[in-house]
Amino acid sequence: MLKVNDIRFESAEHVIQEIRNMNVKGGSPFGRAAAWAYKLACDQEVFSNREELQNRLDYLSSEMLELKPTMATIYNSKNLVYALLEANIDAEVLEIQEKISKLCQKIIDVSLEAVEKLGQFGGNIIQDGETVFMHSYSSALMSVFIHAAKQGKRFTVICTESRPLRESRLAAQILQSYQISVIYITDASAWEFMPKADYIMVGADTITFDGSVANKMGTALISKLAKMCNKKVFIASEIYKIDLRTKEGYQVRLERRTIEEMIQKGDFDSLDGIEVINQFFDLTPADDIHSIICEFGVIHPSTVGEYWGKLEKFIMEAAR
Amino acid sequence: MLKVNDIRFESAEHVIQEIRNMNVKGGSPFGRAAAWAYKLACDQEVFSNREELQNRLDYLSSEMLELKPTMATIYNSKNLVYALLEANIDAEVLEIQEKISKLCQKIIDVSLEAVEKLGQFGGNIIQDGETVFMHSYSSALMSVFIHAAKQGKRFTVICTESRPLRESRLAAQILQSYQISVIYITDASAWEFMPKADYIMVGADTITFDGSVANKMGTALISKLAKMCNKKVFIASEIYKIDLRTKEGYQVRLERRTIEEMIQKGDFDSLDGIEVINQFFDLTPADDIHSIICEFGVIHPSTVGEYWGKLEKFIMEAAR
Amino acid sequence: MLKVNDIRFESAEHVIQEIRNMNVKGGSPFGRAAAWAYKLACDQEVFSNREELQNRLDYLSSEMLELKPTMATIYNSKNLVYALLEANIDAEVLEIQEKISKLCQKIIDVSLEAVEKLGQFGGNIIQDGETVFMHSYSSALMSVFIHAAKQGKRFTVICTESRPLRESRLAAQILQSYQISVIYITDASAWEFMPKADYIMVGADTITFDGSVANKMGTALISKLAKMCNKKVFIASEIYKIDLRTKEGYQVRLERRTIEEMIQKGDFDSLDGIEVINQFFDLTPADDIHSIICEFGVIHPSTVGEYWGKLEKFIMEAAR
Amino acid sequence: MLKVNDIRFESAEHVIQEIRNMNVKGGSPFGRAAAWAYKLACDQEVFSNREELQNRLDYLSSEMLELKPTMATIYNSKNLVYALLEANIDAEVLEIQEKISKLCQKIIDVSLEAVEKLGQFGGNIIQDGETVFMHSYSSALMSVFIHAAKQGKRFTVICTESRPLRESRLAAQILQSYQISVIYITDASAWEFMPKADYIMVGADTITFDGSVANKMGTALISKLAKMCNKKVFIASEIYKIDLRTKEGYQVRLERRTIEEMIQKGDFDSLDGIEVINQFFDLTPADDIHSIICEFGVIHPSTVGEYWGKLEKFIMEAAR
Amino acid sequence: MLKVNDIRFESAEHVIQEIRNMNVKGGSPFGRAAAWAYKLACDQEVFSNREELQNRLDYLSSEMLELKPTMATIYNSKNLVYALLEANIDAEVLEIQEKISKLCQKIIDVSLEAVEKLGQFGGNIIQDGETVFMHSYSSALMSVFIHAAKQGKRFTVICTESRPLRESRLAAQILQSYQISVIYITDASAWEFMPKADYIMVGADTITFDGSVANKMGTALISKLAKMCNKKVFIASEIYKIDLRTKEGYQVRLERRTIEEMIQKGDFDSLDGIEVINQFFDLTPADDIHSIICEFGVIHPSTVGEYWGKLEKFIMEAAR
Amino acid sequence: MLKVNDIRFESAEHVIQEIRNMNVKGGSPFGRAAAWAYKLACDQEVFSNREELQNRLDYLSSEMLELKPTMATIYNSKNLVYALLEANIDAEVLEIQEKISKLCQKIIDVSLEAVEKLGQFGGNIIQDGETVFMHSYSSALMSVFIHAAKQGKRFTVICTESRPLRESRLAAQILQSYQISVIYITDASAWEFMPKADYIMVGADTITFDGSVANKMGTALISKLAKMCNKKVFIASEIYKIDLRTKEGYQVRLERRTIEEMIQKGDFDSLDGIEVINQFFDLTPADDIHSIICEFGVIHPSTVGEYWGKLEKFIMEAAR
């Protein structure tokens, strides 16, 4: 099974450093890294009173959020820790440290198990002889395909290359290593090959509170076309990627990246009058998504808020 | 104005040779090249009787069609010449040669003027301050944009790069040279940027008898999305690109090209179990096309057959 | 090839009689029968003057139209004959008789050839390995499938049974006899099996002037669903089935038939309060039809009026 | 029957004057007025040579087009007259005058008959017990309803008021006078009442060469909604309203009118920061139109160009 | 009111036997039958310890599930009983038996009341003078219509016959007995008659966790067409029909039944090359369903999981 | 911030009186007024026993509901008070009075805060430079725009006038006073101007249990068009406007108002045969709504029932 190997963090400062060095990648690892930072501070450091602890946690939070200001999973870890603090307003500092440590361990464990669980549920969806259409790369998605393969299903995956970085190459290689047959096409071929697909499966970068999904550019396009010709779109993602600020109306920031990823030396003599835009993510509205495959099962996109509530309660109970 | 420079063909054999060497490119140049072949044979060669002439024309036809078996414009030139032959069953061989030469000259002239004319009509469509969405490269399309610019219109063109060959780079450079502002994006961004566009304009590789259009992969996808959100799709193309065999139910052959255009060294260790498909053309149904911008004006796609009839009559009259 | 065997009519009266006995079936046979009636009258009977001839033709027309008041093809034959009369206002009665006879022969010949020609064009559409979705029975449609089979194509046809009479049983048997593989399903399964089909092919009972098609109940439903998921709908029909009165705004009468075709003894104790409706035909709007496969080729539905003009001219020339 | 009463023009100058005084209203009356101007000049005035005549016609044309620069029907009358001039390059001036007079009379006659003819065709469409949805006012549309009523059909018309001028009040009054029952609703209620309608019928201000229709603001909205729920949209209009410049890519100018039509005294203290826009016309794409009810019959919108050709030929023959 | 008469089961073995003899029919009766089996075993049999009880329950479960391996309601009853077992791990065997008996009684009571309750809610939806479109037969649906009739509403029901078994005959007869007027049509007429309907109401065989519904073949087709023309689709079903395994990604098994139901003696000489498929159920995606009428009220399909949670809690409390 | 000024009610009778005098306007004020009535009765009046209190509350309820029989918010206040009564079946009358008073105070406070909270959430949605499309008037909607303006966002609002009463004039004036730029158009222009809008925001009169929204006529039309071209529709409304009777299948009563609002003196001589309908509200199905902006955040329409549950619990706790 796709082994998720988090960095072996040594201390809270180490977490900050690894984030700064861009060694942490993907929404889920960031959420766990934040949990590690809080946990290691509570496990390793000594605080004479609650205020000291609070200051330390504030410092760690601001460091991490300065480096990744739009990362929903860091916010989620921070919010859980702070909710715990508030719920234990009169407790001894040592007791709080212990509780935070337990809570963060739970955050980490739950996240690591989620990819495994949703992989099983997604694997159950895939039937022998079917063809699945995917786009870009996502470890949750890989987990789904690998589970299906391990269940003995024989199926085909159509991969669009996903310009500019063509992350689907990595997906194709992983699928290849599990003897899953792959059809590899350009992004512009999505509509041409869609009739061959039984349904669509993609990952998620961020989930909004009302069930929409930010993911690699092209996901919304493919989902809209799929909807139009009555093919289901499944999103494979743990619930922890929900961006709770969207509940308050804040919009998911859809990153644009460097144009160097899109153009190469020699493509243009000059860029005078040519604006190259490397819009990296887009937002697929909940309406175009059939279900989200998460650690709780295959759920309707409109219920992500309800499941976040369950997840939050489950994690918080670890620190009672 | 975009100067169309056909090769200066020396003889019928020279035409064949240049086709073989792949120096003739694009539907329109192929149609003219075929006309050159027939014309040069009739101008330069001596035939003792009608049968000799017929044999020579048959030979030239079969050579050209063997090299480009799916090229509608070669068929169109051939069919016009053969219709002339049939209509002059009792004429002297010299008289026929002269008539074929005139007919072929007309074919060439008409084609060269068509891009100019449709450029003017298309230029009239574009209004100051508008944004046009295009895909891939087409000289007819360039003619439209250049005419609009020369008419003093200031507008913006959104170009999808058009993987795998990214022909839009050439389009962007030409637009740049006319001070037309360009936004250059990946193909997968088509849906994200469509709200910014007032309408879509693309070229055509081949037109079917019922008004559908074969063009660079991605055209059908973009047209379907445009239709969905009520943006008009215009096709810029001379009528000569019609494939008359589609009237009899034959399907346009949608070329697949070498996968080397899609993948580079190092992309994959091996391609075991990975089928790379470089489907180069797709077919946009007439339903998704608002109008065709051709040498006759801006016409409804369903009327291409009617306009072919007019064009054929006009050309044939040259040889009366 | 599907041999079309018209009844061997002996006289004009015989035609009327066979229509009355309901031995003439299908739009095309009715058009030819009417031509036979006029032709046999002109060949066999003696008229002392133009007025006598006119009276005879009027009588035949009114007899036939009283029996089949909504049959477009009878009107078409009648209208052609009467146009000829009008164009020869000063001719001798014998000369007119001869001209009518020629005209009617042409009507008959053209109709018999049409099914053959459109079968070839339609056969060209079908490619090896494809799956075609059909509904009900139509001899034009059978001609398409048989031509495809004779061209060596191996393909599958999905047949909905077409309640209440389940005419698809006959279609399935004919296809079976040509070794074409058939999937036979209930009408309600149309949507379930549509993803397996590459496109839809059906016949026509009547064509309206703006390109809509009346056909067996269910055709409009299937066409709407096909349109929605981007599958092309082809109609196989000769142009002669056009109902020219629709040009003047008259609506095609969509027949309801006896409820005995729908319910059997024992289905209901009584029909008090239950209205059983056996609506036998529906009207598919031109918008939902991709092309009409007719004797002129594979044409856009909006051009049926134009092709009727060509057909009329072609037939009328026979009597010049 | 709706009596069309053109002004009794006394002279070419009188025509110009009445146009200037805004006593000519509606596309069709403008086309006829232009014909009157040319005709009266040719009937009443003396020209010593062809050049003098040409100058006079040029003067009249520029006067009329300066007053109504976007009126397609004036252009159409002008173009027919000028085509006649060109076709008679060597004729005597008197002969030309006579021909122009005949041509213009034909233009006038044909236009006056057109509304009558299309009224009959449209009336045939309407069936007993049906409900028709209309918007704004159009004399062609009134002709349709009156013919249906005279044919004895009992039906209901739903009228949206058509803000800002609420021209539907006039329509309602005319329908009332023919005992046609009317449901009168606000424009915003269009979607709420559409399920009660069997189909939509509206008029046209201008028809584009590819079959789209400019008409009172709201027509495109209603047509799009009708299309969505599978109700047919019929346009009642004579073909003469075609704007031939659209064939060359020029866009129909969609007039905005004074905001005084939209707001009344007291509606706002000031308009600082409030842009009131009285966009008076919109453009319904051919795709959303089922048929055009014109003097030739009920035709597919894509064929308007073909019918313009027929009309032009028919009119020009009058002056042979 | 439609009296639901379950079989009077004598013992657990009797339940198994009746299932084996196919005397239990419909999702709800199966769920209750399973509850009876567990209850009767606990009421009538003696177990010396918990293990013996467990073995007995395991045996009953495996017997029932072997006979009906895809029946969601049997799983639901089983799961509730087993959850109770687990929650009472340390209780005396007699106490557990008593609790299981209470729990099962609750399952039975709740199910019997559900059809009554949802009938009232659904009856409230129907307004005087409306026309409802239905398909196939469902006792929950009948309950809705009967309640509406008892509330004094006068309305019309359009019934598609629902080939191959034409279960709608039974529906028509029941409606007839309540003086509800019925229009009885073929399945292929669904699109033709939909404009006459105000909305659609059908039953359910199984509900998936994300709100989709498996029901008699044709339901998905009708729902898709209804959605397209903006008519609401209501599903009448108790929540107990939810298939919880779909939460884990397992797909609802859509039964195919014997082809004898579809073809009769004499339909075909042989079936060589003809594959007859009697696909009996299809799956309507949650997107095409407006609301589910269940015992909790008229709910959004995406909330079925939430209501299952409420139902489960309510039932489990009976055994506290 | 938009100051919500409820009437200063003096007594329960005063509330009734003000409702009777039509001084209470809007769903939220009615809900609060009902709470005031119950609260003032409990604060000011003396009841010797529970029965007396019950009778008084019954009287107040029936008075209010007789005056406004379709107002969901009055029902909601009543139901909360009666649920409290039932939950305190054995309490002393004075204790109950106190509890009711607290509960009603909570209802009032929560409602007053809701508009403020949802204004903030909605304000967060709006981004600098965007254009928002609105229709009619709603104080919740105004709160959203004012919050966005106070957050320093510069944006444009397109207002349809909203015939017949043109409530958008008030909206335009309020926006004007906050320097928000406004484009003011007719209702029929909604489709023409929609391409300029980034998304739609409207208010709500009533919310149904499954997430549909009743609002000023035209809302459903605009939402359907927006959905079609992929623009999000946001509804700004507090959850308290939910009509819980819709859970039981009862339909929201969509008011028709006096035709004097639609026609003026002189519009028609008589209304014989003209039915003027002033349908004032329509119902937008949940499917066409992207999110509801409420006091809990920006939620999926299908979850309104869930949030009502939370709100009810939160309010009830005030009276524990």
Q: How confident is the model over B139-162, as pLDDT tens digits?
A: 999 999 999 999 999 999 999 999
Scanning every residue of chain D, which has its alpha carbon at the shortest distance from the alpha carbon of C304? Answer: D300
Task: Pick from B155, B173, B192 the residue to mutate for testing the A interface (most A CBs within 10 Å).
Answer: B192
Q: Tell if the CB–CB gap between E221 and C273 is shorter than 8 Å.
A: no
Which candidate from B188, B225, B274 shows the least CB-CB separation from A172? Answer: B274
**Quick one: which of D219, D217, D223, D214 has its CA closest to D241?**
D214
Which candidate from E224, E249, E301 shows the least CB-CB separation from A293? Answer: E249
Q: Tell if the CB–CB gap between A166 and B267 is shorter than 8 Å.
A: yes
Scanning every residue of chain C, which has its alpha carbon at the shortest distance from the alpha carbon of A191? Answer: C230
Judged on CB neighbours under 10 Å (0-12, 13-18, 19+), E254 is: middle
> What's the gap in Å between the CA of F228 and the closest CA on chain D?
9
Q: Compute the average pLDDT of residues A58-81.
A: 95
Specify the pLDDT at position F3. Answer: 52
Please identify every residue of F annotated as catalytic: 205
Judge whether A187 counts as a catalytic residue: no
Residue numbers in F near B195 (CB within 8 A): 195, 230
Q: Please tell me if residue D192 touches chain F, with a CB cutoff of 8 Å.
A: yes
Task: Pick from A207, A208, A209 the residue to mutate for testing the F interface (most F CBs within 10 Å).
Answer: A209
Q: How confident is the model over B68-83, as pLDDT tens digits?
A: 988 999 999 999 999 9
Q: Is the pLDDT of residue D6 over 90?
A: no
Residue numbers in A near C225 (CB within 8 A): none
Q: Residue F236: in which H helix or E strand, if any? A: strand F233-236
Q: Tell if the CB–CB gap between C290 and B210 is shorter than 8 Å.
A: yes
Q: Please tell me if residue D229 touches chain E, with a CB cutoff of 8 Å.
A: yes
How does DSSP assign chain C, residue by residue? Answer: ----------SHHHHHHHHHTT---SHHHHHHHHHHHHHHHHHH---SSHHHHHHHHHHHHHHHHHHSTT-HHHHHHHHHHHHHHHHTTTS-HHHHHHHHHHHHHHHHHHHHHHHHHHHHHHHHH--TT-EEEEES--HHHHHHHHHHHHTT---EEEEE--TTTTTHHHHHHHHHHTT-EEEEE-GGGHHHHGGG-SEEEE--SEEETTS-EEEETTHHHHHHHHHHTT--EEEE--GGGEEGGGGGTPPPP--EE-GGGT--TTS-S--TTEEE-EE-EEEE-GGG--EEEETTEEE-GGGHHHHHHHHHHHHHHTT-
Q: How confident is the model over D184-203, as pLDDT tens digits?
A: 999 999 999 999 999 999 99
Task: Pick from D291, D294, D304 the residue to mutate for testing the C interface (most C CBs within 10 Å).
Answer: D291
Mean pLDDT by 10 residues, chain F (320 residues): 70 96 89 96 96 96 93 96 94 95 96 96 98 96 97 98 95 97 98 97 96 97 96 97 96 93 93 96 96 97 97 91
Q: How confident is the model over D144-191, as pLDDT tens digits?
A: 999 999 999 999 999 999 999 999 999 999 999 999 999 999 999 999
Specify the pLDDT at position B3. Answer: 52
pLDDT band at B2 (very low <50, low <70, confident <90, very high): very low
Residue numbers in A near B186 (CB within 8 A): 163-164, 187, 217-218, 262, 278-279
Q: Tell if the CB–CB gap between F297 and A211 is shorter than 8 Å.
A: no
Cα–Cα dist B273/A159, whole Å: 13
Q: Please tell me if residue B285 touches chain C, with a CB cutoff of 8 Å.
A: yes
Q: Tell if the CB–CB gap between E305 and A303 is shorter than 8 Å.
A: yes
Q: Please tell me if residue B269 touches chain A, with a CB cutoff of 8 Å.
A: yes
Bridge partners of residue A214, in order along the sequence:
A206, A283
Q: Is the pLDDT of residue D307 over 90?
A: yes
Q: How confident is the model over A204-235, as pLDDT tens digits?
A: 999 999 999 999 999 999 999 999 999 999 99
Q: Is the pLDDT of residue B251 over 50?
A: yes
Which chains have at least 3 CB atom pairs separated by less than 8 Å from chain D? B, C, E, F
Residue numbers in B near D220 (CB within 8 A): none
Specify the pLDDT at position F1. Answer: 43
Residue numbers in A near C195 (CB within 8 A): 195, 230
Q: How confident is the model over D208-226, as pLDDT tens digits?
A: 999 999 999 999 999 999 9
**Quick one: which of D150, D143, D152 has its CA closest to D122?**
D143
Task: Please count the CA atoms within 13 angstroms of the CA of A110 that sit on its side-chain side.
Answer: 26
Specify the pLDDT at position D319. Answer: 81
The pairing of beta strand E156-160 with beta strand E131-135:
parallel
Task: Pick from C180, C185, C186, C262 the residue to mutate for testing the E interface (most E CBs within 10 Å).
Answer: C186
Q: Compute the average pLDDT of residues D126-137.
A: 97
Q: Please tell me if residue F46 touches chain D, with a CB cutoff of 8 Å.
A: no
Q: Please tell me if residue E207 touches chain C, with a CB cutoff of 8 Å.
A: no
Q: Please tell me if residue E184 touches chain C, with a CB cutoff of 8 Å.
A: yes
pLDDT band at D27 (very low <50, low <70, confident <90, very high): confident
Residue numbers in D near C249 (CB within 8 A): 120-125, 293, 297-298
Q: Tell if the CB–CB gap between E275 and C181 is shorter than 8 Å.
A: yes
Q: Please tell me if residue D228 touches chain E, with a CB cutoff of 8 Å.
A: yes
Task: Pick from E130, E191, E199, E229 the residue to mutate for testing the D interface (most D CBs within 10 Å).
Answer: E229
Which chains have at least 3 CB atom pairs separated by less than 8 Å from chain F? A, B, D, E
> What's the gap in Å between the CA of F165 and the closest CA on chain B?
31
Q: Please tell me if residue B249 touches chain A, with a CB cutoff of 8 Å.
A: no
Q: Please tell me if residue A229 touches chain C, with a CB cutoff of 8 Å.
A: yes
Q: Please tell me if residue D303 touches chain C, with a CB cutoff of 8 Å.
A: yes
pTM, two decimal places: 0.95
Specify the pLDDT at position F70. Answer: 84
Specify the pLDDT at position C1. Answer: 43
Cα–Cα dist C142/E73, whole Å: 47
Fill in the amino acid letter for A242.
Answer: I
Cα–Cα dist F158/F193, whole Å: 8
Q: How confident is the model over E233-266, as pLDDT tens digits?
A: 999 999 999 999 999 999 999 999 999 999 999 9
Cα–Cα dist B306/B310, whole Å: 7
Q: Tell if the CB–CB gap between E302 and A297 is shorter than 8 Å.
A: no
- Tens digit of each residue's pLDDT, chain C (320 residues): 445 567 899 999 999 999 999 899 888 999 999 999 999 999 999 999 999 999 999 999 999 999 998 899 999 999 999 999 999 989 999 999 999 999 999 999 999 999 999 999 999 999 999 999 999 999 999 999 999 999 999 999 999 999 999 999 999 999 999 999 999 999 999 999 999 999 999 999 999 999 999 999 999 999 999 999 999 999 999 999 999 999 999 999 999 999 999 999 999 999 999 999 999 999 999 999 999 999 999 999 999 999 999 999 999 998 87
Specify the pLDDT at position E5. Answer: 65
Q: How many CB pairs under 8 A join A and E?
A: 52
Q: Is the pLDDT of residue A103 over 60?
A: yes
How many CB atoms within 10 Å of residue C205? Answer: 26
pLDDT band at A199 (very low <50, low <70, confident <90, very high): very high
Q: Tell if the CB–CB gap between C275 and E176 is shorter than 8 Å.
A: no
> What's the gap in Å between the CA of F302 and the closest CA on chain B?
25
> What's the gap in Å between the CA of C280 and the closest CA on chain D?
20
Q: Are F100 and F39 in contact (CB under 8 A)?
A: yes
Tokens of B293: 């911008």
Q: Is chain D touching chain B, with at least 3 CB–CB pairs below 8 Å?
A: yes
Cα–Cα dist A4/A28, whole Å: 10
Task: Out of B205, B243, B282, B288, pick the active-site residue.
Answer: B205
